Amino acid sequence: MISKEMYELGAHSSVIREIFEYAKKRAAVVGRENIFDFSLGNPNIPAPPVVDETIKKLIDTMPSCTLHGYTSAVGDDSVREAIAAFLNETHKTSFRKENFYMTAGAAASLTITLHALAEKDDEVILIAPFFPEYRVFSEGAGMKARVVLSDEKTLLPDCDAIEKAINEHTKAIIVNSPNNPSGVVLGEEEVKKLCAVLEKKQKEFGKPIFLISDEPYRELVYGSATVPYITKYYKNTIVCYSFSKCLSLPGDRIGYILVPDEVEGSREIFTAVCGAGRRLGYVCAPSMYQFVVRECLGKTADLSAYEKNRDLLVSTVERLGFSCAKPDGAFYLFMKSPEEDAGAFCERAKKYELLFVPSDSFGFPGYVRIAYCVSAEMIERSIPAFEKLAKEYF
């Protein structure tokens, strides 16, 4: 009567969403201020004022039927031109509007890209820990997900293991830096190392291996960390970008796919992207937000609060005896579970109303993800709970 596969996906919502729902129920019982919900990557910093100012300006100045009407399937020309110009100026690249397909966020960018690339028996490499939806998106596109664990000490990609995992079926690898859930950022050296492996394997198998760079956290980096623009290091790179996190508008659903001219078969891939967008019902990303981001390129929400949260959390958990890789970006802390079973640790944390996400669904057991896109006050209030939890272990 219905698709079993879709039923299963719907019935077992993501672990993250389950915890988020639990938090809402629990808050109704003990009060919102007594729940320390670190589950969801929902930015708590408001969108910068320029977003609302732009919306008001667009409403006042643009014909309603243009602002709220359909754009071309690929997105509005002026928007795509502006994005190309902005990236060219920022990264010294030479993109054209024809390289861009506007989407409803990174999730749509990824599903469309994977559908556009997938052929029978194709595989996609996922570097664990990874955003759990990658598995759903890859399998949905008919690709087998081959998981390669990151280096346990640094949480950076293990290039030797990636080299071993690539085979004649490998169509693509998804790279996500700054990373959800670890917060790890790939520096230039790591990018070069990974690209060298991909180049070598492309030669060996005589076919392209596409690097899908999932970049919703590109701007969220702290201290001296920088995020290299991967298209400059590896020509078969397709970028899946989103404005969700940098502009704090995840609910408005806006992003893009970039297929540079240098990509092997670029025009054919772009046409397949258009086809996948059509098949998946994604043609025409939200029009008003296409125009909004055109006016807000290079702007971000005030990200300094995330950096303060990171510093406070890292110093707190380290003081208490927990260990984690200091995140250079995104807004997640990946903390080692003091017991082997991270799920059991999360259950114990729940006793103190601390809500973390166990790392099993990120493909990397033994850790918890702590999303620190929350108020600094909540982190302050949660410290006694962290202290009580630590006493159970150290």
Tracing tokens 């087998």 back to the chain, one arrives at 144
Query: CB 121: neighbour CB atoms within 10 A?
Result: 11
| Closer by beta carbon to ligand PLP, 225 or else 390 | 225
Say which residues have a Cβ less than 8 Å from residue 324's Cβ, sequence separation at least 6.
Answer: 314, 317, 318, 333, 334, 335, 336
Nearer to ligand PLP, 131 or 222 (CB): 131
- Within 10 A of 311 (CB to CB), how many other CB atoms are there? 14
Residue 250 Cβ vs ligand PLP, minimum distance, rounded to whole Å? 5
Write out the two tokens for 68. 């709220």
The first and second tokens of residue 384, run together, are 């006694």
- Beta-bridged to residue 100, according to DSSP, are 258
Nearer to ligand PLP, 289 or 386 (CB): 289
Q: Which is nearer to ligand PLP, 112 or 305 (CB)?
A: 112
In whole angstroms, the minimum distance from the beta carbon of 40 to ligand PLP comes to: 9
CB within 8 A of 380, min separation 6: which ones? 312
Give the Cα separation of 275 and 205 in Å (integer): 27
Task: Give 215's contacts (C-beta < 8 A, 6+ positions apart).
Answer: 106, 176, 177, 227, 239, 240, 241, 242
**Least distance to ligand PLP, CB of residue 339, Å:** 26
Shortest separation between residue 139's beta carbon and ligand PLP, angstroms = 16
DSSP codes of every residue in 18-61: HHHHHHHHHHHHH-GGG-EE-------SPPPHHHHHHHHHHHHH
Residue 324 or residue 330: which is nearer to ligand PLP going by CB?
A: 330
Least spacing, CB of residue 369 vs ligand PLP, in Å: 10
Q: How far is CA 222 from the centre of its chain?
A: 17
Report, in Å, the least distance between residue 33 CB and ligand PLP.
26
Least distance to ligand PLP from the beta carbon of 303, Å? 16
Minimum CB separation of residue 241 from ligand PLP in Å reads 8
Nearest CA to 174 among 233, 101, 123?
A: 123
Question: Could you count the other beta carbons within 10 Å of the beta carbon of residue 151?
Answer: 13
Q: Are 241 and 102 in contact, with CB atoms under 8 Å apart?
A: no
User: Of 41 and 157, which has the nearer Cβ to ligand PLP?
Assistant: 41
Taking the complex as a whole, how short is the minimal distance between the CB of residue 244 and ligand PLP, in angstroms? 4
Query: By the criterion CB under 6 A, which residues form the site for ligand PLP?
Result: 41, 105-107, 131, 176, 180, 214, 216, 242, 244, 250, 255
Q: Which is nearer to ligand PLP, 202 or 300 (CB)?
A: 300
Residue number, 116 or 389, with CB nearest to ligand PLP: 116
Q: Decide if 157 contacts 150 (C-beta within 8 A).
A: yes
Rank residues 183 and 338 by Cβ distance to ligand PLP and give the closer one.
183
What's the CA gap between 208 and 185, in Å, rounded? 25
